[in-house]
């Protein structure tokens, strides 16, 4: 007896109940934790630097840039804020000597906002870039920066974003549990990466734009779709109906399509960090590479966990994961969709 519609309704209802019960444990703010502070120093005249200090709104008040002692304010600070961040701009005079060999730091680094991106542009064209963390809050300015150093910084940011973005990880988890065979899993995840690479590049370069709230709601919807597919053929919907699913028959195609959507989400996160002038292609490539490495590492960890679990637990584990993914997906879908229908939201 076929009952695909009833099966979907049952899954959706259970997911809604689970989401309601989990509302106290999961918040949508966990979905995109890539909000590092940004400290940018650009030399405009010998020893004179324009400073940009940008922090997420949720950053602690103790987070503050630490410049060499000889750098004195040469202008007052101007402040600008939006829904996600606060930015300060001012000018400093560091004297005639170069900053090479001097320490530039960010004080107060640590959880939950533990990173800061440092960018330094010197008058002679040298560029220095680094990611500062709680265990390495300062950088001694070197004579110059290499292409590999810039790329390594953005690879690290890509890995950090995907491993910290719960919504993207849940989507990848659903794909890993849904697809059969390691080669097909790798193919599907790579298709997802190619998809979000396209829209990430286009959105970051300003070629296309999409409403942030709508994108976030659709990302949540994509997670719910994967969760529903995980329940197909698992006792809720028969295998014949499951065989008709495009996601099951062509997972790489659907992963690419959903990747196009997720790319707008990645672009929103990357916009908070920015791209170094003159290094945009390499930075974009490196950020995408970091995301791919993080996805592969996550998928490998899931496959390793599945391999060590007794086979009798596999079916129950997949079903539990499906409901968990669906619960959070429905919660995010509700919380991200509601503002779209509230006037002035």
Residue 171 pLDDT exceeds 60: yes
Measured CA to CA, the distance from residue 183 to residue 110 in angstroms comes to 38
Mean pLDDT, all residues of the chain: 76
Give the model's pLDDT for residue 239. 44
Residue 67 pLDDT exceeds 80: yes
- Dihedral angle at the C-alpha atoms of 15, 19, 20, 25, nearest 10 degrees? 160
Global pTM value: 0.62
Q: Strand 78-81 and strand 64-66: pairing?
A: unpaired
Choose among 131, 126, 120, 179: nearest CA to 155: 131
In terms of C-beta density within 10 A (0-12 exposed, 13-18 middle, 19 or more buried), how is residue 212 classed?
middle
Residue 50 pLDDT exceeds 90: yes
Give the model's pLDDT for residue 53. 92
Integer CA distances (angstroms), 305 to 168, 173, 193, 267, 278, in order: 19, 12, 23, 31, 42
* Radius of gyration of the CA atoms of the chain, in A: 23
32 in Cβ contact with 270 (< 8 Å): no
Residue 325 pLDDT exceeds 70: yes
Residue 93 pLDDT exceeds 90: yes
Q: Strand 138-140 and strand 64-66: pairing?
A: unpaired
Other CB atoms within a 10 A radius of the CB of residue 56 amount to 18
Measured CA to CA, the distance from residue 116 to residue 39 in angstroms comes to 7
Measured CA to CA, the distance from residue 160 to residue 182 in angstroms comes to 24
User: Among 57-61, 71-75, 274-278, which range has the highest average pLDDT?
Assistant: 71-75
149 in Cβ contact with 169 (< 8 Å): no
Measured CA to CA, the distance from residue 287 to residue 204 in angstroms comes to 12
Choose among 80, 81, 83, 90: nearest CA to 29: 83
Give the model's pLDDT for residue 146. 61
Q: Residues 6 or more apart from 235 whose CB is under 8 A from it?
A: 319
Order across the sheet with 138-140: list the strands. Answer: 64-66, 103-107, 138-140
Mean pLDDT over residues 253-281, rounded?
Answer: 75
125: region left, alpha or beta (phi > 0 left; psi from -120 to 50 alpha): left
**pLDDT, tens only, 120-159:** 888 776 778 778 888 888 888 876 556 677 777 778 878 8
What are the tokens at 208? Answer: 């296309």
Residue 110 pLDDT exceeds 60: yes
């Amino acid at each position: 007896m076929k009952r695909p519609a009833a099966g979907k309704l049952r899954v959706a209802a259970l997911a809604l109940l689970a989401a309601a019960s989990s509302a106290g444990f999961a918040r949508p703010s966990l979905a995109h934790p890539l909000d590092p502070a940004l400290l940018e120093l650009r030399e405009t005249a010998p020893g004179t630097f324009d400073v940009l200090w940008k922090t997420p709104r949720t950053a602690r008040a103790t987070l503050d840039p630490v410049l060499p002692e000889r750098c004195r304010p040469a202008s007052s600070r101007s402040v600008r804020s939006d829904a996600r961040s606060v930015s300060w701009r001012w000018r400093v005079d560091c004297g005639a000597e170069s900053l090479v060999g001097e320490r530039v730091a960010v004080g107060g680094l640590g959880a939950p906002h533990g990173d800061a991106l440092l960018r330094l542009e010197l008058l002679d064209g040298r560029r220095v870039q680094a990611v500062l963390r709680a265990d390495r809050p300062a950088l001694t300015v070197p004579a110059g920066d290499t292409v590999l150093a810039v790329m390594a910084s953005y690879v690290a940011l890509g890995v950090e974003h995907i491993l910290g973005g719960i919504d993207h990880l849940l989507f990848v988890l659903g794909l890993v549990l849904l697809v059969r065979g390691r080669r097909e899993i790798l193919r599907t995840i790579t298709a997802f990466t190619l998809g979000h690479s396209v829209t990430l590049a286009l959105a970051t370069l300003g070629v296309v734009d999409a409403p942030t709230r709508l994108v976030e709601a659709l990302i949540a919807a994509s997670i719910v779709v994967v969760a529903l597919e995980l329940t197909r053929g698992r006792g809720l919907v028969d295998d014949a109906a499951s065989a008709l699913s495009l996601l099951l028959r062509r997972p790489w195609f659907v992963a690419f399509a959903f990747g196009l959507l997720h790319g707008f989400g990645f672009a929103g996160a990357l916009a908070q960090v920015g791209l170094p002038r003159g290094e945009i292609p390499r930075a974009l490539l490196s950020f995408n590479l970091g995301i791919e490495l993080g996805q592969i590492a996550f998928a490998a960890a899931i496959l390793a966990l599945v391999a060590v679990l007794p086979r009798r637990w596999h079916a129950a584990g997949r079903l539990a994961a499906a409901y968990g993914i669906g619960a959070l997906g429905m919660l995010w879908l509700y919380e991200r969709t509601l503002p779209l229908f509230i006037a002035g939201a």
